[in-house]
Amino acid sequence: MATVSFDRATRIYPGATTPSVDSFTLDVADGEFLVLVGPSGCGKSTTLRMLAGLEEVNDGRVLIDGKDVTKEAPKDRDIAMVFQNYALYPHMSVRENMGFALKIAGQSKEEINRRVEEVARTLGLTEYLDRKPKALSGGQRQRVAMGRAIVRKPKVFLMDEPLSNLDAKLRVQTRTQIAALQRELGVTTLYVTHDQTEALTMGDRIAVLNRGILQQVGTPRELYETPVNEFVAGFIGSPAMNLGTFDVQDGIGVTGKARIPLSAATQEALASVGEKQVVIGFRPESLDLVAESTPGAFPVRVTLVEELGSDAYIYGVLEGGGSISSGTDSNPDHNSADNQIVIRTAPHTAPGAGAIVWVKIKEGEQHNFLASTGERLPN
């Protein structure tokens, strides 16, 4: 086990004008499960590869257990990496695949077999030890790839989107197994994914990146409840947070027929920088269906209803003009749609398409951001 530190680590690819990872600074505690998350191309895999020694660090440092490993070869860093594509040797059995690194390291056959069989029992692979990878399912291959990393007993595990090739049900099952296994082993783990649901359910902490820049680091609850800026607000959560740009008029945010009151703290912060617009965000579960006469309510025309058994989601547009969208424009991985509001409600209670519902933001669940910078404002 070990600590991991990035000290202003920067990676600029040859021919590029901007860094793929820009002055990345982060400390990972001994035994922590840290998830790196963000849209495609945000620099999360590059960050992981810099730690592994597979990418050059153009500026800054990478440290493992306080030791500067920036210039060290990958083989000298005592890390183990699990890839998206499993990277198993097709001509080797599961036993041989899992023990290959130990064989290269000169371990005895007895020690290799002991460690392989011990890890196989933990991962439920004992009955598959003599099979070739082609005779395994995707989930079993992924467990073999994990087992190959675990038998080495490295200081740090690195996992680069290891569940991307699995179907939806198997992803849920396997991510639970990975999280439980990491806590059992207590090995420092950095896990890369573009799926923020994986990040929220697996990580002790989450680091959100966008365009090579670290946006926010915190627990899943901190990122969900107090996103530091508009990007994090629109990225974390599924369905995404509803976000809209409002004109500020006499302490009220106005767009179309929506009139949303702003707190004194928000008004003061806006006045201090001379802003006349504000971005207001609210999650689908933060909206109550109310009567038209309710103060602060605004109308939404229903375009689609999704019944999911335990919940229902109403998709609609702001009635009377104005624009509120689900997700953020800077987040291409989200299924964001212009002028689309998402409302979560009880099952079998939503009206049909074409109906108009009135909604109000629940007390304390409104998020305000500067329109010019996306920075969070006090509520």
pTM: 0.89
Neighbours of 322 (CB within 10 A): 18
**Do 198 and 320 fall within a single domain?**
no
pLDDT, tens only, 56-68? 999 999 999 999 9
pLDDT, tens only, 8-18? 999 999 999 99
Q: What are phi and psi of 24, to 5 degrees?
A: -75, 120
- pLDDT of the residue at 174: 85
111 is a domain residue: yes
CA–CA separation, 240 and 112 (whole Å): 47
pLDDT, tens only, 229-264? 999 999 999 889 999 999 999 999 999 899 999 999
pLDDT, tens only, 133-187? 999 998 899 899 989 999 988 999 999 998 888 888 888 888 888 898 899 889 9
CA–CA separation, 363 and 353 (whole Å): 28
376 is a domain residue: no
378 is a domain residue: no
**Do 258 and 167 fall within a single domain?**
no
Helix pair angle (109-123, 94-104), 10° resolution: 130
Buried b (16+ CB within 10 A) or exposed e, 3-41: bbbbbebbbbeeeeeebbbbebebebeebbbbbbbbbeb
375 is a domain residue: no
**Do 264 and 220 fall within a single domain?**
no
338 — pLDDT class (breaks 50, 70, 90): low
Residue 334 has pLDDT above 50, yes or no: no
What's the average model confidence in pLDDT over 182-209?
93
210 is a domain residue: yes
**Do 190 and 276 fall within a single domain?**
no
What's the average model confidence in pLDDT over 87-102?
94
* DSSP letter for each residue of 340-356: -EEEEE-TT-PPPTT-E
Give the residue from 203, 233, 263 where a domain finishes.
233
Identify the CA nearest to 307 among candidates 347, 251, 260: 347
High-pLDDT (> 70) share of the chain, % = 97
Whether the CA torsion 61, 37, 31, 189 is positive or negative: it is negative
92 — pLDDT class (breaks 50, 70, 90): very high
**Do 276 and 166 fall within a single domain?**
no
Secondary structure of residue 179 in the 3-state scheme: helix
Amino acid at 231: F
- pLDDT of the residue at 336: 41
CB neighbour class for 243 (10 Å; exposed up to 12, middle 13-18, buried from 19): buried
Identify the CA nearest to 312 among candidates 287, 337, 338, 277: 287
CA 165 to chain centroid, in Å, comes to 17
Two tokens, residue 358: 């009135």
Return the CATH number at 338. Answer: 2.40.50.140
324 — pLDDT class (breaks 50, 70, 90): confident
**Do 30 and 148 fall within a single domain?**
yes
Structural domain of 268: 234-370
**Do 197 and 246 fall within a single domain?**
no
